[in-house]
Chain A
Amino acid sequence: MSATTVAAAEQPVTTGSRLAAVLRLNTVDLRGRVGGPWVILAAIFAVNFAIWWAIRVNVDDAGAGTTGAVSALFFIVGSTYLIAMTQVMPFALSLGLTRRHFYGGVSLLLAVETLFHALVLTALLGIERATDGWGIRMDFFSMSFIPEQNVLLQVLTYWGPLLTIGLVFLAVGAVFRRWGQFGVWTVMIGLVLVLGAITFVLTWQNAWPAFGSFFVETPIPVLMFGYPMILAAVAVVGGYLVVRRARV
């Protein structure tokens, strides 16, 4: 074997180096990656602010300024991770990365990225509250049914759903990688049937009041972080089991 043979100088392959490569593959355009969702959210904010400003100018008592617009961020995060599975993963596997490292690395990135979003949202919520809804009593960052609480719990309240939705989208992406469009449609139809069955049972048993009181009585951290984490765990484990036999 020649001294310049590339195989001869091979370096050890560590999990860390592989995960770092996966992170890099998903963040080559870091500015667009991190900035993109916030630019979109800023645009939504501007539109909502203009509308509520106009309402407050014309109507004395227009009620609470609830927008719910912050949920857009959930879907931006979700779609980003769907793309990670549909577009980035085939490229990653061509470069010799394993499914395990790719899925693990992307899940790790998701956890960090959504925590970052949760921290920024908490900070903006602080400003919103301090300025009495940006001076026009607009609830943009608050999810109105969640009462005031301490900062840590507020971060978890944002992080739990963001992380969960991201992992669910990642799992859907795993289904796409394994079974293609057909698999995604099957999952969607299955989901519709399950939700339909739950609705049917609740209606049949006249159990809607009990269902409603569950949401009211469950402590917010459990409802917004505890239960989502169960779904998150199911999504991440299920997604991995699906993707480990995926072809690209």
Chain B
Amino acid sequence: MVVNAIWLFLLGSGVLVAAAQGKVEVVTTAALEASKTAVNIAFELIGLMTLWLGLLKIAEKAGLVEMLANGMKPITVRLFPSIPRNHPAIGAVVMNLSANMLGLGSAATPFGLKAMQELQKLNPNPDVASDAQCTFLGLNTACITLIPATIIGIRAAAGSGNPTEIVGPTIVATSFSTVVAIVADRYFRARAARRRR
């Protein structure tokens, strides 16, 4: 399990390095502060989640999510073969990826969590990530970004002569990482299928 090894590495190397410098108390402060930060993040998410999930429900009832999901069907059917057609998971996945593309971070997370919940309903082992959930996560972190809004703002604030000149390269770089994620996902999925047999 990669995540266990990385987690232990972060903790272990941190304590070791701090101790070697004779400032091991830094670890205590960092740990206490970070646990507070984590809860604060979750608290901020409560408001965001509530707002966007409410809006998502309106969009669902109006048939808007279905329209968007239908439009993207040729792509999603290939990427998520295990999700039945017309399952609500597709709509939430598409909403999340669209929000990501437009750089709407505050909307992307709530839609993404909703998508995970829908995918979880199809997951036979609730403790273990399903193929579709892994694919979704990979796509989400790679996701093509059309408008990197935050960084454009920072560049403009720093007095750039052309704050948006990085948009083109960003689209190319994220398209590349999306392709890498899709190809790697196919490989991992095939490997998992072979092991199951």
Say whether A and B bind each other.
no
Contacts from B to A (Cβ < 8 Å): none
Contacts from A to B (Cβ < 8 Å): none
